[in-house]
Structure 1
Amino acid sequence: MTTFKKTATLLLIGFLFFSHFSIAQNEKITYGNPSEVGMDSLYIYTKVDSIMNVGIQQEAFPGAQILVVKDSKIIFNKAYGFHTYDSIQAVSLNDIYDLASVTKITGPLPALMKLHSEGKLDLDSPFSTYWKPWKKRKDKKELTVREILAHQAGLNPYIIFLNEVLKKDGKIKSRFIKSKASRRFKNEAYDGLYIKNRFKNKVFRHINRSKVSDVKKYKYSGLSFLIYPDLISQITNKNYTEYLHDNFYGQLEATTLGYRPKSKNFNNLIVPTEVDSLFRKGLTKNWVHDENAALLGGVSGNAGLFGTSLDLAKIMQMYANYGIYGGKRYISENTVREFTKIQYPENENRRGLGFDKPLIDNATLSIKEAYPAPEVSPESFGHSGFTGTFVWADPTNNLVFIFLSNRVYPNRNHRNIYNLNIRPKLQQVFYKAIKDNQ
């Protein structure tokens, strides 16, 4: 083949690829089947069913959902098991799940990305530029937005604010929590549990005064995410939840994505999480599992979002399209690329900005050692949640993987979802189905 023909062929391939990608960006998610996108359907269903059956038998979770999008087509969407181990309520495809830390990348993060796109949030400015109390904190005033979002700032990983509202004998302190709403106790944490309005100030004071490590290396911290809803409201002059709905969820037609689902009268069932013997004294259902988010009235940046697998797939597909979904641009492409790339690889920190990323040498690892599946591209990104949730977008392969479960039922000691490596194994199936069919 002549050099001219080679060049022309490469140009044609490139044109076809980018034309296909452009078309995919303008499409909304539709339903298809694995064979339409070059995947082996029999292989997928056989493998996934096997892994899920083992997971349920080994009590990794009582039930779960998996939804996979390839080339903007939902090629796998299946529910397994039951809400609880009594096998009464089967899992349904439109069930709503407590997303736990998946909230971080689907709640505050799209708002922060949009603000960065608009020039209202500089990643390399001190966080104290936007969060004024930190200007007075010697160990925090120079920490940048980038360092904090990449978990590179040395912040405390977590503060258990539940300790502030419980007495030594386990009883609830009435000065912080009442059984009835009033002018000073408006924030509902659970049925019959109303938090003092000013408790949020106590949370922020603790965060502002928390210790910062002198060593700047990767240390996962959720503290700043408790601040983001207020910070976003300050920058936008809009209510945080309304801002998310108006700029993202509403336009994406992700109708179930949001906070405090019990207040919205959905027909969908909300999957329960943990039987809580400490705080809520019963099965946590319809309300956020994470105690810190609960004590903030159910609205937080670290946890608190609920949603269906389909609505999660919409926002993750928007990310996979570098900011576009259904022909509408939500976030600039440069911003999405910046937030989804590894920030500090020289410090063995795999994280993007808010987003989790594959281990740096992931492709060389076995399925037992890898995170997530070894086959995902280095450009891929996502997040997991404590309740047993996991979402991942791979722009290179145009594949979105959604896994929702309530592995914390009946208690958080159920860790077989990790011990059996279930989520990476499931994710791997869909990559192998592509390779095996080529």
Structure 2
Amino acid sequence: MHKLRHTLFPVFFFAIVFADGQSFDSLSNAIDSIVFDAIGAEAFPGCVIYASQGDSVFFLKSYGYHTYDSLRRVAVNDIYDLASVTKVVGGTLAMMKLYEESKFNLDDPIGDYIDKIGRKVGRVTFREALAHQGGLYPWIPYHQESRRKNGKFRKKTVTNEVDEDYSFALTDSLYLHSDFYSRIKKMIRKSKVSEEKEYRYSGLFFYLIPELVENLTDTSYQDYLNAHFYDPLEAETLSFNPLDKFSLSQIVPTEIDTFFRMEPIHGKVHDEGAIMMKGISGNAGLFSNASDLARVFHMLINEGKMDTLQLLKPQTIQLFTTTQYPNNDNRRGLGFDKPLLAYDSIRSSVAKDASYKSYGHTGYTGTLSWADPESELIFIFLSNRVYPSRTYRSLYQLNVRPTIHQLFYDYLKTNFTEKSDPVGKVK
């Protein structure tokens, strides 16, 4: 297998040298039109689009600017906040490796492995939690726990002055208490759990994964992911708290926060729960450029291999990317999202032609990563659709991502059915 490192040439280089001229030009022009219309409708100020089939990267292009002030153009190697894509390239990857190491059984209750999580939450099994079938509450605004009704900060939550116990900077003037995670667990423990086992999307379990990893391996969640996945894949930008490694200019701003941090969110995780976990969670927190994010999905559709390394077993990937509760009107795999059980052009985030074996995840900030083992198509879409505000929803209303995704399937039907020469090698 070829290494998953490749040079970040503009897509126009590929078109001139390798592509099937008119056919590729038609694809590129169609995508240009969709994206320019979306930027004009303020669906997002800019984006990066990546597509590959097997070892062939046939589309990699950036559009627009970091923000609507049009000061800094988006580059193909710019770093975006992945939001809930973290669930699959962070939390779920860790769970897959723990499963292979026989650290837990999928039908064990999570309360057997995580202390102080309560009877109701604790009886939900790993399979149910990962497939969003356990009745867990969808979302908790953890940051609200930091303030009293009068607006003042509670003890051991947040303060305006840095010291030994408040060392993690939420902003330049807000600092988080070192043990705020215990409050997060308390809120999860006290949350309502539905008695009916039906599909309900929830991120609550994914906030617990870092503790689970540390309990089972004596290794931090971040180090565990680095050692087993990101370092072998050479996915340098795929990381938490990217300002520890990269300059602010390489990172695309996310949102102008008007209700908690009260400043532009830039270089720190957008998700309020993840920032209250010091930027590191299984629910959100990862940042990446498109090419490094694609490395994970190349490894997955290549049955867990990277060069001579076997990072995951093929049967583990098949298990986690298979729908677990189709008879309960639940399309989800274990951690991974899947195509709708019955295609709906309004509700779907992916192309109509995405096979039932395909999998991936969307992110609240306007991101999407999707892999299809049948066609070997990997599609990455990175944007900051929540800039300047999460109220901007044109990305969904215009069906930008599924429409572009379908264009790639249409292109592959005419250009790669006979395994024609690749337009750019994944190196």
Aligned equivalent of 1:348, options 313, 329, 337: 329
Specify the alignment match of 1:109 in structure 2. 92
Q: Is the 8 A contact 2:82 2:287 kept in 1?
A: yes
Task: Report if the CA contact (8 A) 2:136-2:194 is conserved.
Answer: yes
Question: Matches of 1:223 and 1:36 in 2, distance apart?
Answer: 46
Conserved 8 A contact 2:255-2:264: yes
TM-score (normalised: structure 2): 0.91
Matched, 1:390 2:371: no
Of the structure 1 ranges 237-246 and 377-386, higher mean CA displacement relative to structure 2 is found in 237-246
- Residue of structure 2 equivalent to 1:12: none
Partner of 1:274: 255
What amino acid maps onto 1:70 in structure 2?
Q
Whole-angstrom distance in 2 between the partners of 1:300 and 1:413: 24
**Correspondent of 2:58 among 72, 75, 88:** 75
Unaligned runs of 5+ in 1: 1-24
CA deviations on 1:379-425 (whole Å, 9 max, x unpaired) are: 10000111111100111111110000000001000000000010000
Select which of 186, 189, 198 maps to 1:208.
Answer: 189
Q: Where do residues 277-426 of structure 1 align in structure 2 (5 Å cutoff)?
A: 277-362=258-343, 365=344, 367-426=345-404
Displacement of 1:435 after TM fit? 2.0
Tell me which residue corresponds to 2:42.
59
2:212 maps to which of 217, 223, 231: 231
1:159 aligned residue (117, 140, 165): 140
CA distance in 2, matches of 1:395, 1:29: 20
Residues in 2 aligned to 1:328 and 1:38: alpha-carbon distance in whole angstroms = 34
Per-residue Cα deviation, 1:6-42 (whole angstroms, up to 9, x for no partner): xxxxxxxxxxxxxxxxxxx555355794796989312
1:48 and 2:24 are equivalent in the alignment: no
Partner in structure 2 of residue 9 of structure 1: none
Question: d(CA) in 2 for partners of 1:38 and 1:435?
Answer: 13
CA distance in 2 between counterparts of 1:403 and 1:222 reads: 22
The superposition leaves residues 305-360 of structure 1 with CA deviations (integer Å, 9 ceiling, x where unpaired) of 11111110101111122211223211111111000000000001000000000001
139-148 or 212-221, larger mean C-alpha shift: 139-148
What letter is aligned with 1:104? K
- Give the C-alpha shift of residue 97 in structure 1: 0.6
Identify if the C-alpha distance between structure 1 residues 326 and 38 changes in structure 2 by more than 3 Å, giving closer, same or farther.
Answer: farther
In structure 2, C-alpha distance between the alignment counterparts of 1:255 and 1:214, rounded to whole Å: 43
Q: How far has the Cα of 1:184 moved from its partner?
A: 1.2
Pair 1:427 & 2:405 matched: yes
In the alignment, the residues of structure 2 paired with residue 287 and residue 173 of structure 1 have an alpha-carbon distance, to the nearest angstrom, of: 23
Question: Cα offset for 1:361?
Answer: 2.2
CA distance in 2, matches of 1:80, 1:417: 14
Q: Which amino acid aligns with 1:197?
A: S
| Separation in structure 1 between the aligned mates of residue 4 and residue 250 of structure 2, nearest angstrom | 25
Q: Structure 1 residues 172 and 275, CA, compared in 2 at 3 Å: closer, same or farther?
A: farther
**Alignment partners' CA distance in 2, 1:170 and 1:48:** 47
Q: Is the 8 A contact 1:38 1:434 kept in 2?
A: no
Deviation at 1:141, TM superposition (A): 3.8
**Does structure 1 retain, via aligned residues, the 8 Å contact 2:156–2:180?**
no
Work out the CA distance in 1 between the residues paired with 2:150 and 2:49.
42
Q: Secondary structure at the match of 1:251?
A: coil
SS state of the match for residue 75, structure 1?
strand
Indicate whether 1:240 and 2:221 are aligned: yes
Structural RMSD (CA): 2.0
SS at match of 2:170: strand
State how far apart, in whole Å, the 1-side matches of 2:285 and 2:127 are.
24
Which digits, 9 at most, give the CA deviation of each residue in 1:180-220, with x for residues without a partner?
Answer: 33221133323332111121101101112222101111000
* SS in structure 2 of the partner of residue 382 of structure 1: strand
Q: Where does residue 13 of structure 1 map in the other structure?
A: none
The farther-off stretch of 187-196 and 399-408 is 187-196
1:255–1:95 Cα change, 3 Å? same
Percent sequence identity over matched residues? 42
**Which position in structure 2 is the counterpart of 1:251?**
232
Structure 1 Cα separation of the partners of residues 98 and 251 of structure 2: 32
**Max Rg structure:** 1
